């Protein structure tokens, strides 16, 4: 009888302990949310993360805070950042306007990267994610690669480390997101865990987030903070970022040219 009970219990318990990756391993992952804050959806994401005891990273756009704290219209956006900070999440720059940086002039890219700083420097970690990741990828085309080098040098000169993603959920893409959970679980195995990209301006993401978190945990994977993959995230914003407090784009551009000379 005792043996029967043990076998029965094993059958009930074991499926929840199995690892779905083909190699039988489980991995750490960290959640990131881009393009916010959204006045209605971001607080809902925060509710889920609080319930699940998960610390995430929010890559925010500066143009949600036009005119800074002096502008009463920004009250909700700043109160969301205050909540993110109080609940232990990281807040990082996604630049000011959602532009493809490798298609901009050097002056435009410098301006779009530094413009968020006076608005958000009390909140930002020293990491930045370019919109679309544009400028952070390797290209076989020498001219494209030169432009990409220029974007990355500009990010670095402004005092930021660029942080992309390992696992792309494509949660903004209505067609691709039909298979979001299975695609995400597959990528977690392929990349051996890492940084997961979501968007907190997507209603569908907010509605399904808890279920996806449960499913990722059921595979045996664990949720960690960004510092697990990028220790620099926990550091304060460098003094060099003060350039953004009084945008000195010309000086920044000169330092970018210095970096570019070294790249060549
Ligand atoms: Zn984005």
Cβ atoms of 98 and 172 within 8 Å: the answer is: no
| pLDDT of res. 238 | 75
pLDDT bucket at 29, cuts 50 / 70 / 90: very high
Query: What separation in Å is there between the alpha carbon of 87 and the centre of ligand 1?
Result: 23
Protein residues within 5 Å, CB atom, of ion ligand 1: 34-35, 131
From ligand 1's centre to the CA of 131, what distance in Å? Answer: 4
- Residue 19 pLDDT exceeds 80: no
Confidence of residue 24 (pLDDT cuts 50, 70, 90): very high
Q: What is the CA radius of gyration of the chain?
A: 21
Q: Do residues 60 and 82 touch, judged by C-beta distance below 8 A?
A: no
C-alpha of residue 169 to centroid of ligand 1, in Å: 13
Q: Determine the pLDDT at residue 237.
A: 87
Domain extents for the chain?
27-263
Separation of CA 193 and ligand 1 centre (Å): 21
Residue-level pLDDT at 178: 92
Q: What is the pLDDT of residues 208-250, one digit of tens each?
A: 999 999 999 999 999 999 999 999 999 988 765 544 433 444 5
131 with 94: CB under 8 angstroms? yes
Pair type for strands 90-93 and 57-60 = parallel
Under CATH, what is the fold of the domain 27-263? TIM Barrel (3.20.20)
Distance 70 CA to ligand 1 centre (A): 26
Cα-based distances in Å from 169 to 27, 92, 175, 179, 260 = 17, 19, 12, 9, 33
| Whether pTM exceeds 0.85 | yes
Rounded to the nearest integer, the mean pLDDT of the chain is 89
- Under DSSP, is residue 114 helix (H, G, I), strand (E, B) or coil? helix
Is the pLDDT confidence value at 9 over 70? no
Tokens coding 103:
């298609």
φ, ψ for residue 202, nearest 5 deg? -100, 115
Q: Among candidates 57, 21, 58, which has minimal Cα distance to 191?
A: 21
Confidence of residue 5 (pLDDT cuts 50, 70, 90): low
Over residues 115-142, the pLDDT tens digits come to: 999 999 999 999 999 999 999 999 999 9
CA distances from residue 144 to 76, 99, 113, 138 in whole angstroms, order as listed: 39, 16, 20, 9
Q: Which pLDDT does position 18 carry in this prediction?
A: 52
Taking the C-alpha atoms of residue 64 and residue 74, their distance in angstroms, rounded to an integer, is 7
- For residue 11, report the distance from its CA to the centre of ligand 1, in Å: 44
Ligand 1: centre distance to CA 42 (Å): 14
Task: Give pLDDT tens digits for 195-206.
Answer: 999 999 999 999
Is residue 225 within 8 A of residue 91, CB to CB? The reply is: no
pLDDT of 257 higher than 70? no
Per-residue pLDDT at 16: 46
Residues 6+ apart with CB under 8 A from 30: 56, 57, 194, 195, 196, 223, 224, 225, 226, 228, 229
Q: Which helix H or strand E contains 128, and what residues bound it? A: strand 124-128
Span 172-178, average pLDDT: 94
pLDDT the model gives residue 108:
96
Within 158-220, residue ranges assigned H as helices are: 180-191, 203-218
Ligand 1 centre from 197 Cα, in Å?
10
pLDDT at 255 over 60: yes
Bond preceding residue 37 cis, omega within 30 of 0: yes
């Amino acid at each position: 009888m005792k043996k029967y009970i043990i076998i029965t219990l094993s059958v009930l318990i074991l499926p929840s302990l199995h690892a779905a990756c083909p190699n039988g391993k489980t991995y750490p992952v960290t959640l990131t949310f881009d393009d916010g804050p959204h006045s209605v959806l971001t607080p809902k994401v925060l509710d889920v993360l609080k319930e699940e005891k998960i610390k995430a990273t929010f890559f925010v756009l500066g143009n949600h805070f036009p005119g800074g704290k002096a502008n009463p219209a920004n009250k909700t956006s700043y109160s969301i950042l205050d909540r993110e900070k109080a609940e232990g999440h990281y807040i990082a720059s996604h630049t000011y306007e959602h532009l493809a940086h490798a298609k901009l002039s050097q002056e435009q890219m410098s301006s779009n990267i530094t413009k968020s700083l006076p608005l958000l420097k009390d909140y930002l970690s020293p990491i930045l994610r370019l919109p679309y990741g544009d400028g952070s990828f390797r290209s076989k085309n020498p001219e494209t690669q030169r432009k990409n080098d220029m974007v990355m040098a500009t990010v670095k000169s402004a005092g930021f480390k660029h942080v992309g993603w390992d696992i792309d959920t494509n949660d903004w893409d209505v067609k691709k997101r039909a298979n979001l959970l299975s695609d995400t679980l597959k990528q977690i195995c392929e990349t051996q865990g890492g940084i997961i990209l979501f968007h907190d301006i997507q209603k569908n993401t907010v509605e399904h987030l808890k279920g996806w978190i449960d499913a990722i945990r059921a595979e045996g994977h664990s949720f960690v903070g960004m510092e697990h993959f990028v220790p620099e995230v926990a550091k304060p914003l460098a003094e060099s970022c003060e350039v953004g407090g009084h945008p000195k784009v010309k000086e920044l551009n000169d330092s970018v040219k210095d970096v570019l000379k070294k790249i060549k």
